[in-house]
Every structure is written in C-alpha cells, then in structure tokens.
C-alpha cells in the first residue's frame, strides 16, 4: 500500500510539472518539485517545450 501511495504522488507531481511548464508561469514548474529527481524532470520538460532562455529562467528562479 505504501508503494502505491508513493507512486501515485510521483505520478501527480509529474502531471503537475507538465501542466505548469505549459502555462504562462512556466518557471513555477522548477519550484514544484521537492526532490532532485522531480527537479530534473521539470527542467527537462521546460527545456524541451519552452527553449533554452526559459530553461535558464526556470533554473535561476529555482535557485
């Protein structure tokens, strides 16, 4: 049961990151993650969908 809850939380985080990276406030996707793995996913999604300048803004905002 514990593994199921953790996987559902992880799936929810990935969905939220994906949705936030498509909004006008895309840099919030860099703040949403609580763990480094999710931060890497957020930066990957923003980098692929928004471009290098937006990825740089997301990284700086997250720092």
The domain spans of the chain are 2-62
- Run of H or E including 8: helix 2-20
Is the CB of residue 54 less than 8 Å from the CB of residue 26? yes
**Residue 8 has what pLDDT?**
81
Is the CB of residue 32 less than 8 Å from the CB of residue 13? yes
pLDDT tens per residue across span 15-59: 988 888 888 888 877 777 666 766 777 788 888 888 899 889 888
**Residue 4 has what pLDDT?**
83
């Amino acid at each position: 049961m514990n593994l199921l809850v953790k996987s559902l939380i992880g799936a929810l985080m990935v969905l939220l990151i994906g949705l936030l990276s498509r909004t006008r406030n895309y840099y919030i996707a860099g703040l949403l993650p609580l763990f480094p793995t999710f931060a890497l996913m957020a930066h990957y999604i923003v980098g692929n969908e928004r471009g290098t300048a937006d990825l740089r803004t997301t990284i700086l905002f997250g720092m």
